[in-house]
Structure 1
């Protein structure tokens, strides 16, 4: 692609995320990229991790290895991809297996901002209550 669109860049990034190769993943992001998830979400709490990742290296490390401590057998299905200029919205469903073998099933919405051919910012939204109940159990909610 001589001049990939923002949508092309984001869709290629999702393919790259699946490689679990931190160096390749980092190359999808600007050096100062941010990934912002809801404060106190179950993934961040369970992994004792921040909900606001800053920098391509930190984002790539989380996607490539840290996330795998909580989720295995990850299956992501896109429901829709919407693009307008440098903004791309991805609606998806993530199925996975938790460490104790229980299933994880949640819907997500990501808003990507692309700058200079790389991802500059990701804002992540999900059903935080549902996620908390699946990760920590009904009583913990």
Structure 2
């Protein structure tokens, strides 16, 4: 049996493929991805901060986020597991439209059900993200 930690780490590898069908397969059909309300990525892309369903989450990861971020580089700072929960700390570096750099720290709390991801709660420095994306305070 694959551990929740292995399921989440394998999911990150799948995210990098940008294959929406493969990405959707790592989530339960009713999966939810919850990010902070009004975060810069959601605002810039006119996108929800609460995605529901594997197809919507997969489409965002495979296509939509790449409208804002290119040359994405993710470095894991820590991966911690306890039961069905896996916490991933990471630093994301990317290039914004127009060539400006983006760098922010994230924390994701994954809840695994069986061999798939049921929920993701995303946390980041929203103020820093806003300044990098929009160049001003919220």
Question: By how many angstroms is 1:85 displaced?
Answer: 0.7
Aligned positions of 1:8-23 closer than 5 A: 8-23=6-21
The residue aligned with 1:38 is 36
Q: Residue 51 of structure 1 aligns with which residue?
A: 49
1:116 deviation in Å?
1.4
- Tell me what 1:82 maps to: 80
Quote the residue 1:6 is aligned against. 4
Residue 115 of structure 2 corresponds to 117
TM-score (norm 2): 0.99
**C-alpha displacement of 1:140:** 4.0
1:28 aligns with 26
C-alpha separation between the residues in 1 aligned to 2:123 and 2:82?
Answer: 19
What is the SS of the residue equivalent to 2:10? helix
Aligned to 2:37, what secondary structure does the other structure show?
coil
1:57-136 matches, within 5 Å, as: 57-136=55-134
TM-score (norm 1): 0.97
- Structure 2 unpaired stretches of 5+: none
Question: Which structure 1 segments of 5+ residues have no match?
Answer: none
DSSP-derived class of the 2:17 partner: coil
Give yes or no for contact 2:127–2:137 (8 Å, CA) kept in 1: no
Deviation beyond 3 Å, 4+ runs, structure 1: none
Question: In structure 2, what is the Cα distance between the partners aligned to 1:84 and 1:100?
Answer: 41
Length, aligned pairs only: 138
* RMSD across aligned positions (CA): 0.6
Q: Distance in 1 between matches of 2:29 and 2:114?
A: 12
